[in-house]
Amino acid sequence: MSPADPTPTPRDARMTWRRFVDRAMAGVMLLCSVLVMAPLFLVVYFLFREGASALDLNFFLQLPKPTGETGGGMAHAIVGTIELLLMAVVLGVPFGVLGGIYLAEYGSDRTSYWVRFAADVLNGVPSIVWGMVVYALLVVPFKTFSAYAGGVALGLMMVPLVMRTTEEVLVLVPQSYREAGLALGIAKWKIILVIVVRAAMKGIVTGVLIALARVAGETAPLLFTALGNNFWNRNLAQPIAALPLQIFSYATSPYDDWHRQAWAGALVLILMILGLNLLVRFLSRDRNFD
């Protein structure tokens, strides 16, 4: 039937309907995508609108003022977050990277299948649970909340993340690199450390940064480990402040000025995390080996 056919047949009507459904569903899918992206834009928009005005130099340099006084900052929480993340790296990276090496280089057996499985399952454990576990492990025996406990909680969360990403990049290193090393008579552990890991270094660092960005915003594991405080802490065996903790306690407080500071803190935190993510993007632009 030609397009000029004057009388529509049932076949035409059916086709028109099918075309209509096709277009409609395409619209629905596009709408879904827009709705999925909307929260990010809304959150970022409000973070800048509410947070930027509360952000000044004092925010980065001062401690919180006593309740009722306006002003002050979150200097201690920014430094606290950095300290906690450093401790997490010290704990999480060696275990994660070594475990990843095992999975990629040694494990072709059932052990590595189960370790991989366990790592993926462990990634799904709610972060608040890590807080409880570390509370029982470190806070109860030492009878005090401490920066160490907070660092350990974040570090434990990093282990499975780093392990999986390390494994994934090591597997990408071409087999010929290893064979070249073997042909030279180099011991396997040296081949791994000097050739394979070095070749994959950028990818491993990227994985660590991803894990770091993921735990940097965690509040729940710190609630009963690092606890938070309102002053400078020079003793890691004492409670320490962290940006997410400070945001939480200020956001749920009844004071307007604290709400403003919570927005400012959130803006700083999200800029830190998005900064880490951009760094990851930049680093992983050319991760292929060919």
Partner 1 sequence: MAPPSRLPDTAFRWLALLAALTIVGLIALVGWELYGGARLAVAKFGVKFLVNSTWDPVTDTYGAWPFIFGTLVSSLIALVIAVPLGVGTALYLTEMAPGRLRQPIIMVIEMLAAVPSVIFGLWGIFVLLPWLRDHLFPWLQKLFGFLPIFQGAIYGVSMLAGGIIVAIMILPIVTSVSREILRSVPNLQREAAYALGATHWEVIRIAVLSYARRGLFGAMVLGLGRALGETMAVTMVIGNRPEVSASLFAPGYTLASVIANEFTEATTDLYLSSLFELGLVLVAVTLLVNIIAQLMLRSLAGSGSGKVT
CB of 54 to partner 1, least distance (A): 12
Q: Based on CB atoms, which residue is closest to partner 1, 106 or 232?
A: 106
Q: Based on CB atoms, which residue is closest to partner 1, 73 or 213?
A: 213
CB of 182 to partner 1, least distance (A): 11
Helices and strands: H and E segment counts in the chain: 13, 0
What would the two tokens of residue 158 be? 């990093």
C-alpha dihedral over 157, 248, 271, 72, to 10 degrees? -130
CB of 149 to partner 1, least distance (A): 13
Closest C-alpha to 78, from 94, 104, 96, 57: 57
Q: Based on CB atoms, which residue is closest to partner 1, 73 or 100?
A: 100
Radius of gyration from C-alpha coordinates of the chain: 26
133-139 long-range contacts, CB within 8 A, separation 24+: 134/221, 134/225, 135/224, 135/225, 138/225, 139/224, 139/225
Kindly report the backbone phi and psi dihedral angles of residue 187, in degrees, each rounded to the nearest multiple of 5, phi listed first: -65, 150
CB of 290 to partner 1, least distance (A): 20
Q: How far is CA 141 from CA 87, 137, 149, 201, 256, in A?
A: 20, 7, 11, 38, 39
Q: Based on CB atoms, which residue is closest to partner 1, 178 or 214?
A: 214
Closest C-alpha to 157, from 225, 101, 103: 225
CB of 72 to partner 1, least distance (A): 18
CB of 56 to partner 1, least distance (A): 19
Q: Based on CB atoms, which residue is closest to partner 1, 73 or 207?
A: 207
CB of 89 to partner 1, least distance (A): 15
d(CA 223, CA 145): 10
d(CA 251, CA 56): 19
